Amino acid sequence: MKPAFLGVLALCVLLSAPSLHAQANAASMPSSEEINDLLGKAAEYVGQYQATFKNSKATLDKAPITGFIEKSDELCGHATTIIAALKKNGPSAFALVGLIAVLDDMSVNAARASAMAMIVGMEPQAGKDPNHSAPMDMQDLAQAEKNCVDISELILHSTLRLIAVEENILHTLSDGMKQKQ
């Protein structure tokens, strides 16, 4: 009697596994509040990023490679547009991945600008006072880079959870349609 009971129990567990798996994935779906909190933090970091580049303008204007401020303005504009669309329309994997890509570009721009600020700070100033703001600009730009990486990583984890739930739903619907045929 015991082996038959265990067999029936095992069969019930196996048959209910897809629905248990779906419930487990649904529990990991990022909430609207979580996404909105991340978007709020991203918007805050985008504002700080833009301010950091404006404050570092004097140093970056002396850099051997230019264009960092213009690139930061362009990227901040893209990020702000995507964040506003996500807040208005709700989360979508496509838009969240787009935001992650822009934040990644922002971090690369800040890293390169930070390196240029360090180069400017190390250059001898013929007949002039040394550029004392360059080391601080370098640190501020490095922090802007870190902020972009940090928020991008948090958004990535939420996006992956969202995609996992969406894929699970699609697989469940697809399996249901196959069974009807």
**What is the mean pLDDT, run by run of 10 residues, along the chain of 181 residues?**
44 44 60 96 98 96 95 98 97 96 98 96 67 88 98 97 93 82 74
pLDDT at 35: 96
Q: Which domains does the chain have, with CATH numbers?
A: 31-180 (1.20.120)
Query: Are 75 and 106 in contact, with CB atoms under 8 Å apart?
Result: yes
**Do residues 133 and 59 make contact, with C-beta atoms less than 8 angstroms apart?**
yes
Amino acid 28: pLDDT: 87
Q: What angle do CA 38, 112, 93 make, to 5 degrees?
A: 30
Locate 64 and state its tokens.
Answer: 């051997």
What do you get for the CA distance between the two ends of the chain, in Å?
Answer: 38
Structure tokens at 69: 């401020």
User: How distant is the alpha carbon of residue 48 from its chain centre?
Assistant: 16
User: What is the spatial distance between Cα 63 and Cα 115, in angstroms, rounded to a whole number?
Assistant: 10
| pLDDT value at residue 47 | 98
pLDDT at residue 126, rounded to an integer: 55
Q: What is the pLDDT of residue 125?
A: 65
Q: What is the pTM of this model?
A: 0.79
Q: What burial letters (b/e) apply to 98-113, b meaning 16+ CB within 10 Å?
A: bbbebbebbbebbbbb
pLDDT of residue 3: 52
Q: Tokens standing for 130?
A: 């040394």
What's residue 129's pLDDT?
58
Q: What are phi and psi of 61, to 5 degrees?
A: -65, -20
What is the predicted pLDDT for the residue at 177? 77
